[in-house]
Amino acid sequence: MGDQAMHPAERLLIERSCERLQARYAQTADNGDIEGFVELFVENGSVEVPEHRAFVGHASIRESIRALAATGLTMRHVITNRLVTVIDETHAQGSCYLTVYNSDAEPDASGIRPAGLPATIGEYADRFTKTDAGWRFQSRVLKRVFRG
């Protein structure tokens, strides 16, 4: 059964599941949740970001997010303009815009850090696969459009 024969409610559930992955990616990265981040990908999944070679497989993805968390930056990923296209019952593709703010400044007495311009503005191209554990990223490729 391809996308054309799929019930509209099933298509919406797939779209929502994939959009949730995009949001969880941002939250787990921002919170330094290394294992939560890794679990968003299939075992042989990949992440590609400019200035680095692709991180392929759970071990490589784990090391990439561990290194990012170790920088000590406070980050907030803002994900917008999400669009998911269902291919079939087990595959989808999507995109979303990304704006990242980060700071290594000390927080003030109330715990707030000074804000600057976004560090990155770009877009992700995503491929999703349904697994026994639910929908996961097969791949994410970041195209940076602006850098702060």
The string of pLDDT tens digits covering residues 65-103 is 999 999 989 999 999 999 999 999 999 999 999 999 999
- Outline where DSSP puts E strands in the chain: 41-48, 55-56, 74-88, 91-103, 120-131, 134-147
Taking each helix axis from N to C end, the angle separating 58-70 and 8-30, rounded to the nearest 10 degrees, works out to 50
The string of pLDDT tens digits covering residues 95-141 is 999 999 999 999 999 999 988 899 999 999 999 999 999 999 999 99
* Total tally of structural domains belonging to the chain: 1
The string of pLDDT tens digits covering residues 13-36 is 999 999 999 999 999 999 999 999
Read off the CATH number of the domain in which 78 is found: 3.10.450.50
84 is written with which tokens? Answer: 């998911």
Structural domain of 17:
3-147
DSSP 115: P
